[in-house]
Amino acid sequence: MSQTQSMGGQALLQVRNLRVEFPTRRGTLVALDDVSFDIHPGEVLGVVGESGAGKSMTGAAIIGLLEPPGRIAGGEIRLAGRRIDDLPYEELRRIRGRQIGAIFQDPLTTLNPLYTVGDQLVETITTHLPLNPAEARRRAVEWLEMVGIPAAAQRVDSYPHEFSGGMRQRVVIALALCAEPKLVVADEPTTALDVSIQAQVIALLKTLAREKGTAMMLVTHDMGVIAETADRVAVMYAGRVIEIGAVRDVVKHAAHPYSAGLMGSIPPISHRVERLEQIDGSMPRLSSIPPGCPYNPRCPRVFDRCRVERPELLPAKANRAACWLYAPGEEGRLHG
């Protein structure tokens, strides 16, 4: 059964039991372990967690841009019902441009400094949509206006270096969306931007998801961005999804002790607190993920079962959490 029934209808993106491995001389490292989730048309799924949790890796696996020697070793990825993780590179590249848009943290990795932004937009549009160059140029100007580039008709002939960092990121968003993809994978799209531009970019992504019916996977470590933008959130830890649910439920009533620690580390606006929560220790390296629940060495609620047996996602409050506190027979520990 799908993890999200609230949106209704067929999920656009279905990730099932995804496993990504990195073979090394010392053995195989498991970077993603049994990751599953859905995203529906018009829905924004936020993916959060500390650095090294596997957020960006999940996005790269979906887009088909895993860095070698990383490889998908198990599970499957379906886009609009069609399996895409086992396609030949060229076929996946065509799908990536037309049906999947990608927004990366650093706009300079996406934009070619030798071509005007208009040339790059026109090329993308004519490659994927049945428009001639003149129509594509008009569409390019419209997209630049839509993402908030002032005097777009003039700026369309500017080069990337002639834009500020925030404006470049807007161009990248236009480039990702101009072929009208069904799915957008946005990896830390606002990290390099100042706060006022962040808010505008977030509002833009949200509007496009709603108006165009685009499904969006928003990867970030910023819970503020998630709370503002996403419909649901998946919390990742050590290559696994450890909690998934509606944003308000995860933010206000986190079920997994790790999610609760993440939420407790955010300063509340409504009242003053003397001390924020902190999570002791750090995430384990891929070469030393402990048996049982990977969070058990840092968990304040740990008990014997956590150290030996790995929990699956279980119904927990309004969410689903990979935590033995929610296993049948363990209810007493929740209130202990």
What pLDDT score does 97 carry? 80
What pLDDT score does 7 carry? 52
Sequence letter at residue 63 = I
| Mean pLDDT score across all residues of the chain | 90
What pTM does this model have?
Answer: 0.91
104 and 161 in contact (C-beta within 8 Å)? no
Distances (CA, A) of 214 to 12, 85, 118, 143, 268: 9, 20, 23, 15, 31
Tell me the per-residue pLDDT of 65-119, one tens digit each, with 9 for 90 and over. Answer: 999 999 999 999 999 999 999 999 899 988 988 899 999 887 778 899 999 999 9
The answer to whether residue 60 scores a pLDDT higher than 90 is yes
Return contacts of 222-229, CB within 8 angstroms, 24+ apart: 222/190, 222/191, 223/48, 223/251, 223/262, 223/263, 223/266, 224/266, 225/46, 225/190, 225/198, 226/46, 226/48, 226/251, 227/251, 228/199, 228/202, 229/44, 229/46, 229/202, 229/205
The answer to whether residue 257 scores a pLDDT higher than 50 is yes
Angle in degrees, CA 292, 18, 207, rounded to 5: 115
- Overall average pLDDT of the 254-268 stretch: 87
Tell me the per-residue pLDDT of 188-237, one tens digit each, with 9 for 90 and over. Answer: 988 767 777 787 778 888 888 888 899 999 999 888 888 888 999 999 99
Upper half-sphere CA count for residue 303 (Cβ side, 13 Å):
12
Does an H or E element contain 135, and which? helix 133-146
Sheet holding 27-39, edge to edge: 27-39, 13-24, 71-79, 82-83
- Overall average pLDDT of the 17-23 stretch: 97
The answer to whether residue 8 scores a pLDDT higher than 60 is no
Give yes or no for a cis peptide into 150 (omega within 30° of 0).
no
